[in-house]
Amino acid sequence: MKKTFVTNEQLQEIVKEYPTPFHLYDEKGIRENARRLKEAFAWNKGFKEYFAVKATPNPFLLKILQEEGCGTDCSSMTELMLSEALGFDGSEIMFSSNATPADEFVKAREVNAIINLDDITHIDFLEKAAGIPETICCRFNPGGVFKISTSIMDNPGDAKYGFTKEQMFEGYKKLKDLGVKNFGIHSFLASNTVTNEYYPTLAKILFELAVELKEETGADIKFINLSGGVGIPYKPDQEGNDIKAIGEGVRKVYEEILVPAGMGDIAIYTELGRFMLGPYGCLVTTAIHEKHTHKEYIGLDASAVNLMRPAMYGAYHHITVMGKENQPCDHMYDVTGSLCENNDKFAIDRMLPKVDIGDLLVIHDTGAHGFAMGYNYNGKLKSAEVLLKEDGSTQLIRRAEKPEDYFATFDFCDILKDMKY
């Protein structure tokens, strides 16, 4: 059984100030988790977490992570702008993008971010657009199928990202000739893994590649970025990752491969998003309709606009009916939003306690890829974001959108001059 980080009593008070739906975040949980990650990799002197901004691009949450020693992983102009505005310096910003517009490379160079190139052709593109920096990273894609033990984790061969192995060697040599002095290696081979084996297995691949690259090209490799992919247990019967065991697994491979090669000073970087914030956010919503036709439906004031993952690819998110946590789950519902799309469902055939109109429902694990994936289909407006602070108080960290926000991009003309708000 999944437990909420907020009690029913707390939530009843919170909704008096902030109307549902809204995303709620747990400051205490976020800070404690960031410290657990840092401790798990404390054996590596240069360890740094570059939080994946795309997962939760909220400046208040980024400041919390900044206070805990994290940097940012950016993939767009606006994410670079956000990081710069919050005072992250160049060494604290990783720029990992693909099919990158020239002006984004220019901005990355302007803020002195560490650029992680996605393709060998980007070397010439970057040189022409913004010049080649002294420190650079290259993203590796080994192709084929990525396996852990006997389990297939993902299919890098079908992914659009990264250099082939041959291109890594060619690219490093070319970059050295262009004046690069410090190199990094990056790779992302599987998403949302719930196994302690993923990082150590990936690390072994990258560490062995690092040794080969140094021997053949003479490149000075300063860091290896394991990227993201460490997931969270969305379902209540899943066992979560043990970040301490993961860190220890990476350390063991590090000492087996890099240290004997005289490369024991390489820093380890991570770019976690979901693991950092996923469990520490939830979507708070109210049951506003019930429908009894061919199935039993509960209609919420939230929709896929607020949480897209279930509609997009059938992702599971646990649901708690607040105040009824100990009641039997003896009613089967489809839990829906109000969009004009039949996939606007948070749950299908989900067993829950009897839901009554006005009940507060908490949809778990929306702290990453929740609000961030929202959109405005049907003219629906994005919700507020609220922080549950360590002392139990709350803080509005993003207001809900208003109709005037939705129509703001027509401010260049007077076609809506008679709009009444």
Using one digit for the tens of pLDDT, what is the confidence trace for 360-380?
Answer: 999 999 999 999 999 999 999
CB 254 within 8 Å of CB 203: yes
CB 301 within 8 Å of CB 380: no
Cβ-count burial 266-275 (b if 16+ within 10 Å, e if not): bbbbbbbbbb
50-80, pLDDT tens digit by residue?
A: 999 999 999 999 999 999 999 999 999 999 9
Of 278, 300, 327, the domain-final residue: 278
Say yes or no: 253 and 398 in one domain: no
Q: Is residue 324 part of a domain?
A: yes
Question: Which amino acid appears at position 408 of this protein?
Answer: A
Q: Is residue 338 part of a domain?
A: yes
Q: Is residue 240 part of a domain?
A: yes
Say yes or no: 52 and 141 in one domain: yes
The dihedral of CA 323, 327, 331, 335: what is its sign? positive
For residue 304, pLDDT over 60 is answered with: yes
Q: Is residue 372 part of a domain?
A: yes
Q: Is residue 2 part of a domain?
A: no
Here the CATH number for the domain that contains residue 390 is: 2.40.37.10
User: In sequence order, what are the beta bridge partners of 384?
Assistant: 22
Say yes or no: 272 and 395 in one domain: no
Q: Is residue 325 part of a domain?
A: yes
Q: Which residues are marked as active site?
A: 340
Say yes or no: 215 and 317 in one domain: no
Say yes or no: 223 and 292 in one domain: no
Domain count, the chain: 2
Query: What's the predicted TM-score (pTM) here?
Result: 0.96
Residue whose tokens read 């992702």: 315
Contacts of 14 (CB under 8 A, 6+ apart): 6, 24, 284, 386, 388, 394
pLDDT > 70 fraction of the chain, expressed in percent and rounded: 99
Say yes or no: 197 and 337 in one domain: no
| DSSP secondary structure, 353-405, as one string | SPP-TT-EEEE---TTTTGGG---GGGPPP-EEEEE-TTS-EEEEEPPP-HHH
Here the CATH number for the domain that contains residue 175 is: 3.20.20.10
233-282, pLDDT tens digit by residue?
A: 999 999 999 999 999 999 999 999 999 999 999 999 999 999 999 999 99
Q: How confident is the model at residue 144 (pLDDT cuts 50, 70, 90)?
A: confident
Q: Is residue 20 part of a domain?
A: no
Q: How confident is the model at residue 158 (pLDDT cuts 50, 70, 90)?
A: confident
Question: Which long-range contacts link 70-75 to residues 24+ away (Cβ below 8 Å)?
Answer: 70/34, 70/276, 73/271, 73/273, 74/108, 74/113
CB 94 within 8 Å of CB 71: yes
Question: Which amino acid appears at position 399 of this protein?
Answer: R
Of 246, 278, 310, the domain-final residue: 278
Say yes or no: 286 and 210 in one domain: no
Q: Is residue 180 part of a domain?
A: yes
Say yes or no: 336 and 397 in one domain: yes
Cβ-count burial 131-143 (b if 16+ within 10 Å, e if not): ebbebbbbbbbbe
Task: Give the containing element (helix H, strand E) for 175.
Answer: helix 165-177
Of 253, 278, 303, the domain-final residue: 278
CB 392 within 8 Å of CB 65: no
Map residue 283 onto helix, strand or coil: strand
Say yes or no: 58 and 195 in one domain: yes
**How many CA atoms are closer than 13 Å to the CA of 362, on its beta-carbon side?**
27
pLDDT at 210: 98
**How many CA atoms are closer than 13 Å to the CA of 233, on its beta-carbon side?**
13
Average pLDDT over residues 333-349: 97
Say yes or no: 245 and 288 in one domain: no
Residue 394 CA from chain centroid, whole number: 23
User: In sequence order, what are the beta bridge partners of 203?
Assistant: none
For residue 149, pLDDT over 70 is answered with: no
| Rg, C-alpha atoms of the chain | 23
Please tell me the distance from the alpha carbon of residue 61 to that of residue 86, in angstroms, as a whole number: 11
Map residue 302 onto helix, strand or coil: coil
Say yes or no: 54 and 131 in one domain: yes
Please tell me the distance from the alpha carbon of residue 170 to that of residue 61, in angstroms, as a whole number: 40
Domain span holding position 195? 27-278
Please tell me the distance from the alpha carbon of residue 62 to that of residue 30, in angstroms, as a whole number: 11
13-47, pLDDT tens digit by residue?
A: 999 999 999 999 999 999 999 999 999 999 999 99
For residue 152, pLDDT over 70 is answered with: no
Q: How confident is the model at residue 153 (pLDDT cuts 50, 70, 90)?
A: low
Say yes or no: 111 and 244 in one domain: yes
